[in-house]
Amino acid sequence: MNTKDKVLLAYSGGLDTSCILKWLQEKGFEVICFIADVGQDEDFEAAKKKAFGCGAEEVIIKDVKEDFVENYIWPSIQMGLVYEERYLLGTSLARPCISVALVEAAKSRGAKYIAHGATGKGNDQVRFEMCAYALFPEVKIISPWRDDDFCKRFQGRLDLIKYAEQNGIPVSAKPSAPWSTDANIMHISYESGILEDPNQIAPNNLYEMTKDPKLAPSKPYRVKIHFQNGLPVKAEDMQSMKTFKKPIDILKFLNEVGGLYGIGRIDIVENRFVGLKSRGVYETPGGTILFSAHQDLEVFCLDREIYRTKSYLRDSMSVYVYNGFWFSPEAVFTRKCLELSQEHVNGEVIMELMPGYCKPLARKSAQELYNQELVSMDVHGGYVPADATGFIRINSVRSTEFARAYGKYKC
């Protein structure tokens, strides 16, 4: 490390990154702080002021909300991404978006180093660094929570608080916080603290984005979501008849009504990439509505075997995104395949919002494979029922041969 080398620090304004800022200065770095606005409820000016107070040479605040929605959240809806069948990847999707802005800032300022405050046990260290190396191969990464000197000096929050007080860094953190929070325009995640016990019920006052379903309106609320090539292109409020067409406006509207009904809450134990299991509580109101609507239209429009193949690729892509491989050969290939599967996913879905959940009520598409006459129980519609006899016989051969060779199935 050369004296006054520039380092771009992914800065949040919290205890960890404020102490890291000062520690980097002690190491001889010129520190540039970078804050990405991905839609979190944060006082950016206060964070900027704090960074300068801690000795930052420059503070960059970059609004990437629209980029996040259009180029990460929307493709995730199109691809139907969901990790381990429940988690809609709100944090995972934000990391490549933030990384792009981080790398652009580092290159424009001539910074050879990028630093972050992600813990050595979590996924974010992998996500940020994998993205940074893919976009900026020659970059050097500083991860203090994996640095021997830093870890010997700071065992945890108590040591950081003491260091902050010694160095005049404003401290709002308490020695034992009840949980940690990560927020963006798609979701809020909660983990750590009291949530580390998977048998501890999350308190009602934890949630910030959604209302308690027990206190939600009892009257159902209906919205209509329009899709083109699997991407949301319009949302209609069927009560006020207002329409929303910009991706960020669609998401904000659905977050608002979904939050009012307490939609999108999950409490899970998930498998981190580093091999640990962790407990996370998430709330994703608008994303949950969009995911459910897209899934319903997709089954309606897609050929059966395309849907099954697509589902396998979707699960693979969900793992790539969760693990931090948004920018990787396998993710680029898989995404192109998934986008191709969405060529005919065009139409609209009426969704009904109820306390704690949402469900599709009706769907329509000009290109659906659903043939009402062919499927009708009232007319044959070109389908010859007698043909099913041979179909059933051929499909039963495997079962009858198994029974012949190994004995009859037990009832």
**Choosing from 12, 18, 76, 95, which is the catalytic residue?**
95
Q: Which of 180, 376, 396, 399 is catalytic?
A: 180
CB atoms within 10 A of CB 246: 13
- Known catalytic residue at 16: yes
Strands (E) across 96-158 are located at: 113-115, 140-142
- In the residue annotation, 212 being an active-site residue is answered as no
- Annotated catalytic residue, options 12, 18, 92, 124: 124
The secondary element (H helix, E strand) that includes residue 61 is: strand 58-63
Residues near 383 by beta carbon (within 8 Å), at least 6 away in sequence: 374
Burial 129-154 (b: 16+ CB within 10 A, else e): bbbbbbbbeebebbbbbebeebeeeb
Q: What is the Cα 3 distance to its own chain's centre?
A: 38
Cα–Cα distance for residue pair 358/260, rounded to 1 Å: 12
Residue bearing tokens 């669609």: 250
Give the CA distances from residue 172 to residues 25, 35, 42, 183, in Å, rounded to whole numbers and listed in that order. 22, 19, 14, 18
Active site residue 399: no
Describe the strand order of the beta sheet including 6-10 as a list of residue ranges. 58-63, 30-37, 6-10, 113-115, 140-142
* Phi–psi pair at 136, nearest 5 degrees: -145, 70
Q: Are strands 357-364 and 231-237 parallel, antiparallel or unpaired?
A: unpaired
Q: What is the DSSP string of 228-283?
A: ETTEEEEEEETTT--EE-SHHHHHHHHHHHHHHTTTTEEEEEEE-TTS-EEEEEEE
Residue 171: half-sphere exposure toward Cβ, Cα within 13 Å? 18
Q: What whole-number distance in Å separates Cα of residue 210 and Cα of residue 264?
A: 8
Do residues 12 and 37 make contact, with C-beta atoms less than 8 angstroms apart?
Answer: no
Taking the C-alpha atoms of residue 285 and residue 320, their distance in angstroms, rounded to an integer, is 23
Q: How is residue 275 written in tokens?
A: 């091999």
The neighbouring-strand residues paired with 352 are 222, 359
The catalytic position among 12, 16, 278, 335 is: 16
Q: In whole angstroms, what is the distance from residue 325 CA to residue 135 CA?
A: 12
> Rounded to the nearest 5 degrees, what angle is found at the Cα of 326, between the Cα atoms of 185 and 226?
50
Active site residue 308: no
The residues annotated as belonging to the active site are: 16, 95, 124, 180
